[in-house]
A and B are shown apart, each in its own frame.
Chain A
C-alpha cells in the first residue's frame, strides 16, 4: 500500500513538474539603442515601402538566435500603433510575437510574413500564440480578422525586408489589447527555409521586454557593409566588415556578430571588434564549392540603432574552394563496398544469432515435460 501511495505521489509530482511552464528569462544581452529593455517612442517617421531608411525608426533589436534585426516606432498617444521593420535572412517566413493582454497570461499576438517571389509581394498571417502550449491559431480560424496594416516587402542584399504596422489596442479580441505602456513581452520566430506560414517555427528568440515611451530621441543610424576579398587558395579568403554611422564616419571599437548560414543553422564566425577605421577582417574558408549566405550585425547601443548586412558568397571552381585546396582524398576503405558490408553483416548477425541460439537452448529444456517419477534435482547439483 505504501509503495502504491509513493508511486502515485511520484507520478503526480512528475506530471506536475513536466507540465509546469518554466519561468521566463529576459535576454541578458538585449540591446536596443541602449542597454536594457527595448524602448519604443513616437519620434520616427516610418514609411512602409520595403526599405529601411534613416529616421524611420527610433529603436532596434537584434536577436542573436534567429539573426533577425527588428526596428520599432510606436504611436502610443494616438492610434496605438506599432510600426515594425524586419530584416531577415532566408526564403521562409518570419514572425513577430507581441504580448496580447496587459497582464501576462501566456498569449502573444503573432504576425507572420513571407515573401512571394513570383509577384514580389508579401503574404501575411495574423494569429494568437499560446506560449505555454506552444500553439499558433490564425485569427481567421478563431473568428477574428487580420489586423496587420501596410505590409510591404523588399530586398536588401541576401536578406528580405518587411515593413508593417500592428494595432496595440485592436478591436479584434484575438489581437493585442494593450492599454498601458508596458513593459510587454515580445519575441521573434522564423522558419528560414519554408515560406508556408503554417509551417513550424525552426527557431525562436527569448522573450524580450518592450516599453512605450514618449520622450525619446531617434536612435542614430548605422550601416554595416560586407565586402569580400577573395584570394587563392580559398583558405586565405577574407571578409571585410565595415561599420559606419549615419554620416558615413567609421565606428571603431564596436562589437560585431559575423555568421554564415549552413544546413544546420548559423555558424558564428565572431564576435569581432572593429578597428580604428571601423573595419574588421574575418577569415572564412569554405571547404566546398557552393553558395553561402554570410551576415554581419551590429546590435546597437549607446544611442545607435542596430544594423545588419547579408551577402551571398559564391564559391566557384575558379574562385577557390575544393579545386584549389587540398580536398578530401579518396577513402582508403570504402565501407559501402559489398565485401566489407558482407563482413559487417556476418559479424553482427553472428552475434545476434548466438543470442538467439542461447535462448533456444534454454527454452527447449524449460519447455520439456518432466517425467513425474523423476525427483527434481536442485540447481547446481550436477555432480557426475
Chain B
C-alpha cells in the first residue's frame, strides 16, 4: 500500500535517525556566528546605539531592513501552504512543511529586530503600559503576534499525524520521545480524527492568508503613514505584500534545493516542483518590476524638490550601484533565467539573486529616505557599523540554525499529506461525492 510505503520510507525518516559529523560542523559554524552576534549585541546593550551607524537623523538602518526582509520571507508558508491548499494544488504536498517552518523561523528572527533597534529593549513594556491605538508600532506588534501564533498553529496541526508516525517508527532519546508523545498524543488515525484535523487545517489555511497580508501591509504602513519623502505612498501596502511573497517563494526554492540534495529527497521534490514555483516567482518578479517602475516614475514625474533629491541619492548618488544592481541582477536577470526554467540550478540561481535583491530593496526603502535631508542645511549620513553587520550575520545564521535543527527534530516533508496525495492520485475519479472530507 502506497500510504504505508511512504510512511516507512527510510529516506524521509533518515534525518531523524542518524546525524553525520557534517551536521555538527554546520551547527558549530552557525552557532559561532550567532554567538558573535550575541556578543556584538551585548556590546551595543552596554554602550548604547552609538555603537551603531545610526544617529538622530538616520535612526533606521540595517536592523529595520532586516526586520522587513525577514517578515517578508515569512510569507513563504502562507503562499505555498495556505494559498495552494485552499486552491487544491496537489503538487504542494511535499513542500508545505518546509514552507510553514520557514514562516515560523523567519517571524521569530524578524520580530527580534525592532527590539534590537530599540537600544533599550526593556522599553518594549511601554507598548503595554502606554500603547496608543494611533501608533503604527502598536498595529505592528498586534499583527506580528497574531501572525506568529497562527503560523505556529498552522505548522503544528499538519504535523500531528507525522509525529505519531515518528513516535512509532523512530527510536529516539528520552527528550525527543517526550516531545513526540506530548505533541502527537492521542493521534490514532481514525476517520473522525482525520476529519477534525482537516477541518482545523482548513480553517487555519483560510484565516492565515488575510493575517499574513495584514502583517506586511501594517509593516508597510509604518513607512507609508510617515510624511517622509520616499515613504508616503499609497502603493506601499501591495508593494510590500508582493515583495514579501516574492522573497518568500525564492527562499522556499533555496530551501528545497538544499534539503533535496542533503537529505536525498529527489523522489519527492522533483524538477516539476521547481518549475511550478519558478513560474510563480516569475509572475511575482514581473509584478515587482511593475510596482517599482510605478513607484519611482510617479515620484520622478512630479519632481517635487525633495523627491528630486531622494531620486538623485538613489539613481546617481551613493546608493546608485545598489539600486541598479537590484534592478538588473535582482529583477531582470532572474526574469530571464525563469522564462525557460530548464534546470533546477537555473531556477535556484534566480531565487538566490531574488533574495539578495529583496534585501537590498528593503535597505533602499529604509535608508535613502532617511538620508535625504528634511531641513536644508545639512545632509544625513549612515554607514552601518560592525555591530550591525555582526547582528545581521547572526540573524541569517540563526535562521539557518533553527531551520537545520527543525529538520533534525521533525520530518521536513509532510509524510501523511504525500501519502494522501498518492492515494488520491491512485484511486479512480469519484462519480458524485468522492472528494475527500
Q: How far is the CB of A240 from chain B (nearest CB, A)?
A: 14
Binary contact readout B197-219 vs A (1 if CB under 8 angstroms, 0 otherwise):
11111011001000100000000
Are B149 and A355 within 8 A (Cβ)? yes
Chain B CB within 10 Å, residue with most, of A20, A266, A272, A382: A382
Judge if A373 is at the interface, Cβ distance under 8 Å: no
Contact A22 B46 (CB under 8 A): yes
Q: Does B318 contact A (CB under 8 A)?
A: no
Across-interface contacts of A266 in B (CB, < 8 A): 56
- Where the two chains meet, the residues of B that have a C-beta atom closer than 8 Å to any C-beta of A are 3-4, 7, 19, 24, 27-28, 31-32, 35-36, 38-39, 42-43, 46-48, 50, 55-57, 133-134, 142, 146, 149-150, 153, 157, 160-162, 164-165, 185-201, 203-204, 207, 211, 375-378, 416-417, 419-420, 423, 427, 433-434, 436-437
Stretch at the interface among A214-222, A245-253, A361-369: A361-369
Is the contact region of chain A dominated by helix, strand, or loop, or is it mixed? mixed
- B38 lies within 8 A of A351 (CB): no
A10-B31, A10-B35, A270-B378 known; A265 and B186 CB under 8 Å? no
Assembled-state Cα–Cα distance A271/B195 (Å): 69
Q: Does B56 lie within 8 Å of A17, measured CB to CB?
A: no
Residue of A14, A341, A357 with most chain B CB atoms under a 10 A cut-off: A14
Chain A residues with CB below 8 A from B417, complex form: 380
Q: Which residue of A lies closest to B435 (CB)?
A: A384
Q: Does the CB pair B150–A370 fall under 8 Å? A: no
- Candidates A6, A268, A331, A361; contact of B56 at CB < 8 Å: A268
A379 lies within 8 A of B194 (CB): yes
Q: Is A35 an interface residue (CB 8 A)?
A: no
**Complex alpha-carbon distance, A317 and B250, angstroms:** 56
Within 8 A of B (CB), among A260-287: 265-272, 282-283
Contact between B377 and A376, CB atoms less than 8 A apart: no
Interface status of A65 (Cβ within 8 A of chain B): yes
The answer to whether A335 touches B133 (Cβ under 8 A) is yes
Contact between B142 and A361 (Cβ–Cβ < 8 Å)? Answer: no
**Closest Cβ neighbor of B19 among chain A residues:** A3
Task: Tell me if A330 counts as interface (CB < 8 A to partner B).
Answer: no
What residues on A are CB-neighbors of B376 within 8 Å? 283
B427 touches A377 (CB 8 A): no
Report the Cα distance A340→B200, complex, angstroms. Answer: 30
Contact B193 A351 (CB under 8 A): no
Verify B28–A380 contact, CB threshold 8 A.
no
> Main SS of the interface on chain B?
helix
Contacts of B207 in A (CB 8 A): 351, 354-355
Is the C-beta of A381 less than 8 angstroms from some C-beta in chain B?
Answer: yes
> Inside 8 A of A383's CB, which chain B residues have their CB?
423, 427, 436
Q: Can you name 15 A-B residue pairings with CB atoms under 8 Å?
A: A13-B35, A18-B42, A22-B46, A283-B376, A336-B134, A348-B146, A351-B207, A354-B204, A362-B157, A365-B190, A376-B190, A378-B3, A378-B419, A379-B162, A380-B416
Asked whether A378 and B189 contact (CB < 8 A) given A10-B35, A283-B377, A352-B146, the answer is yes
Structural contact, A377 and B153, CB atoms closer than 8 A: no
A375 CA to B134 CA, complexed, in Å:
57
Asked if A382 contacts B377 (CB within 8 A), the reply is no
Interfacial chain A residues near B185, Cβ < 8 Å: 366
Contacts of B24 in A (CB 8 A): 2-3, 6
Closest approach, in angstroms, between the C-beta of A280 and any C-beta of chain B?
10
A52: shortest Cβ distance to chain B, in Å?
A: 27
Q: How far is the CB of A76 from chain B (nearest CB, A)?
A: 31
B28, B50, B57, B204: the one contacting A6 at CB < 8 Å is B28
| A-B contact sample (9 more), CB < 8 A, given A14-B35, A362-B197, A368-B193 | A6-B27, A22-B46, A65-B50, A361-B199, A370-B190, A379-B165, A379-B194, A382-B194, A383-B423
CB neighbours of B50 from chain A (8 A): 65
CA distance A357 to B150 in the complex (A): 12
Say whether A332 faces chain B, with CB atoms less than 8 Å apart.
Answer: no
10 cross-chain pairs, A with B, having the tightest CB-CB distances, nearest first: A366-B186, A380-B420, A379-B161, A17-B39, A379-B416, A365-B196, A358-B200, A335-B133, A376-B188, A382-B194
Instruction: Name the A residues within 8 Å of B204 (CB-CB).
Output: 354-355, 358
The answer to whether B423 touches A335, judged by C-beta atoms less than 8 angstroms apart, is no
Closest-by-CB residue of A relative to B196 is A365
How far, in whole Å, are A380 and B161 apart by their CA atoms in the complex? 9
User: Which chain A positions have C-beta within 8 A of B153?
Assistant: 355, 358-359
**Once the chains bind, are A14 and B146 in contact (CB under 8 Å)?**
no
**A17→B191 contact, CB < 8 A:** no
CB of A326 closer than 8 Å to a CB of B = no
State whether B190 touches A377 (Cβ < 8 A).
Answer: yes
On whether the beta carbons of B434 and A384 are closer than 8 Å, the reply is yes
